[in-house]
Amino acid sequence: MYLKVINPYDQKLLIELPFDRGKEIEGKVAGARKAYERWRRLSLEERARRVEQGVKYFRDHADEIARDITLQMGKPLTQARNEVKGFFHRAEYMLSIAKETLAPEILPGKPGFHLRIEHAPLGVVYNIAPWNYPLLTAVNVVVPALLAGNSVLLKHSPLTPLIGRHFEAAFGELDPPNLVTSLILTDRDASQLIGDPRINYIAFTGSVATGTKVYQQAAKRLIDAGLELGGKDPAYVAADADLDFAVENIVDGACYNAGQSCCAVERVYIHQTLYKNFIERAREVMKQYQLGNPIDEKTTLGPLARREALPFLENQVKEGVRRGARLLLGGKRVKEMKGNFFRADPAGRRSESCQSDARGELRSARPCPLGQRRRRGARPDEREPLRPHRFHLDTRSDAGRAHCAGVGGGDRFPKPLRLPRSLLTLDRSKRKRNRLDALTVWVLSPDETEGDSFQDREITRHR
C-alpha cells in the first residue's frame, strides 16, 4: 500500500512512498522509546550541541528542502525559501532560551524543606504536522522536545511526507539513533497510535474537527496534548490608518501562501471613511498577483495544495453572492490550467477572490477553509465596540475561531474591539490601553514594521 503525492501545479505524480504498517510501526515506536532512554541521560549542553548538528543538515540542504515544499504543496519557491529562513530563526531562538527555560525553579522554602520544580522529559512525543507550513509547524515541536530530553515520532501530512523524511535525516541519525522518526500512516493507524502506552505526549496542528478527536483519544489515557487548530482571523482598519500601507499588508496577509496560513486575514473591517478607497486599492493590488508554476521566480501565487479546496471555495463565493455580497474579482477556478488555481481576474491568469458587503453569518466566517477569500465590511463608527448587528458578525458563533487580529491605524485607536478569543492588552504609539479578544495581535504601523510583510512577520512571530 503506497501513499501517492501529487504535484498541485501539474497534477503529476511526484513520488510514491510505502505506508508504515504493523511491524514497521512497532519497530519505529520501539526505536523511539530506546532513543529516549539514552537521550534523557545526556546533559542539556550536550543535547543542545547535537541538536545544532541536526540544524546544520537543514543549512546544507536548504535549497533542496525549499524545492520539496514547493513541489509537494505548491508554495511559490520564494516563499518556501522564506519558510526555510523562518525554520532557522525558530530553531536558533529555542536553542538560545533552552538553558533558562529548562532550569529548575527554586521555590520559597520552609524549615526542613528545599522546594524546587524540575523540568523532566516526558518520553516519546507524537507530532502530527500539517502541510501548509511543513517546516515551521514541525520545528515548533521537534527542537524543544529534543532539547527537553524527549524523542519524537513525526507523522507529517500526506501532502508533505518528504519534509518528515528531512527531519528524520537531520535528527534521526544523531547519537543515539532514532531521536526523530518519520512515520507514513493511514488515518486509521495514525489514530490508533495515540493509544499506544509508549506515547507520552501528542502535538497536533490542523483542523478543529480532527483536533477534537485527537484530544478525546489523548484524554482516554490521561496524557497531555498540545493543539493548534484552525482560526478565522480579522483585520481592522482605523480611520487614521495609512491607507496604502494598510491595503498592502492586509492583502499580503490574506494572499500569502495562497491564503493557506493559520493566521491568514479572512475578514476585514474598515472604517466607513476609508471603505470605498480601500476596496478600490485592494482590488488593484490583488490584480498584480501572478499565478503560475510555483518553481518560477516570477510566480507570486501558487496553486492550492488540495484539489477539493476548489469546489469548496466556489460554493463559499456563491453563498456570499446569494446573501448580498458583491463579487469584485474572480470567484472561479482556472479551468484552462491543470493546477489547483482559483481565478480572480477574468481577463488573465491572475489571482484571488474578493467579496464585500456580505450580510448574515456565512460559512466563510466559520472554521478556517485554508484558501484565499476575503470578506470586507464598512465600520460605521470607531468610537463604539464592534457589534454583531453592525458588522454582520455573530461573535457568539465565531467565538474561539480567531488565532490573530490585525489592526491598522495611526495615533488614535477605538475603544475595546470585541474579536473572538482571549483578552489581551495592547499599547499603541500613545500607550493607550485597548482590549482585543484574540490569541495574537499585530498592530500594523509603518513606523514599526521596518519593511517586513505581514506574513513574513507571521513566520517569525506567530505563537
- DSSP string spanning 139-187? HHHHHHHHHTT-EEEEE--TT-HHHHHHHHHHHTTSSSTTSEEEE---H
Q: Which residue has the higher pLDDT, 410 or 196?
A: 196
Structure-model confidence comparison of residues 236 and 139, the more confident one: 139
- Among 272-276, 323-327, 387-391, 439-443, name the most confident range: 272-276
pLDDT, residue 460, reads 33
d(CA 183, CA 21): 10
Q: What pLDDT does residue 234 have? A: 86
Amino acid identity for residue 452 in this structure: D
- Residues 6 or more apart in contact with residue 349 via CB below 8 angstroms: 290, 291, 292, 334, 337, 341, 343
Which helix (H) or strand (E) element contains residue 206? strand 199-206
Q: What is the DSSP string of 292-323?
A: S-TTSTT-SB---S-TTHHHHHHHHHHHHHHT
Choose among 323, 394, 398, 389: nearest CA to 357: 323
Band the pLDDT of 417: cuts 50, 70, 90: very low
Q: What is the pLDDT of residues 39-97, one digit of tens each?
A: 999 999 999 999 999 999 999 999 999 999 999 999 999 999 999 999 999 999 999 99
Residue 407 pLDDT > 60, yes or no? no
- Dig out the grid coordinates for 215 from the structure: 484530544
Q: Is the pLDDT of residue 103 over 60?
A: yes
**Pick from 456, 264, 213: nearest CA to 369:** 264
User: How far, in Å, CA of 428 to CA of 448, rounded?
Assistant: 11
Confidence band, pLDDT 50/70/90 cuts, at residue 461: very low
Q: Which helix (H) or strand (E) holds 459?
A: helix 454-461
Residues marked active site are found at 228, 262
- With residue 70 as reference, give the H or E element that holds it: helix 62-73
The top-scoring range by mean pLDDT among 162-166, 254-258, 341-345 is 162-166
State residue 358's pLDDT score: 55
Contacts of 41 (CB under 8 A, 6+ apart): none
Amino acid in position 387: R
The C-alpha atoms of residue 374 and residue 382 are separated, in whole angstroms, by 21
State how far the Cα of 121 lies from the Cα of 201, in Å rounded to an integer: 10
CA dist 390 and 402 (Å) reads 19
Q: How far is CA 463 from CA 88, 182, 404, 423, in A?
A: 16, 24, 10, 15
Partners of residue 128 on adjacent β-strands? 155, 204
pLDDT at residue 422, rounded to an integer: 28
Instruction: Indicate the pLDDT class of residue 372, thresholds 50, 70 and 90.
Output: low
More confident residue, 460 or 374: 374
pLDDT score, position 354: 60
The backbone torsions φ and ψ at residue 252, rounded to the nearest 5 degrees and listed phi first, read -60, -40
Looking at the chain, the whole-number percentage of residues with pLDDT higher than 70 is: 74
- Exposed, middle or buried, 203 (CB in 10 Å: 0-12/13-18/19+)? buried
Q: What is the mean pLDDT of the chain?
A: 82
pLDDT higher than 90, residue 19:
yes
Q: Which domains, and CATH codes, for the chain? A: 2-100+120-229 (3.40.605.10), 233-461 (3.40.309.10)
Is a pLDDT exceeding 80 seen at residue 403?
no
Query: What gap in Å lies between CA 425 and CA 419, rounded to an integer?
Result: 13
| Predicted local confidence at residue 355, as pLDDT | 59
pLDDT at 219: 97
Whether 197 has a pLDDT exceeding 70, the answer reads yes
pLDDT number for residue 27 = 98
Grid coordinates of 66: 525549499
Longest CA–CA separation in the chain, Å: 80
Name which residue leads in pLDDT, 446 or 249: 249
Contact partners, residue 360, CB within 8 Å, separation at least 6 = 323, 324, 392
Gap between the Cα atoms of 420 and 397, Å rounded: 9
440's enclosing H/E stretch is strand 440-444
Centroid of chain to Cα 425:
23
Residue type (1 letter), 42: L
Q: What is the DSSP letter of 399?
A: T
Residue type, 186: T
The Cα–Cα gap between 264 and 234 comes to: 9
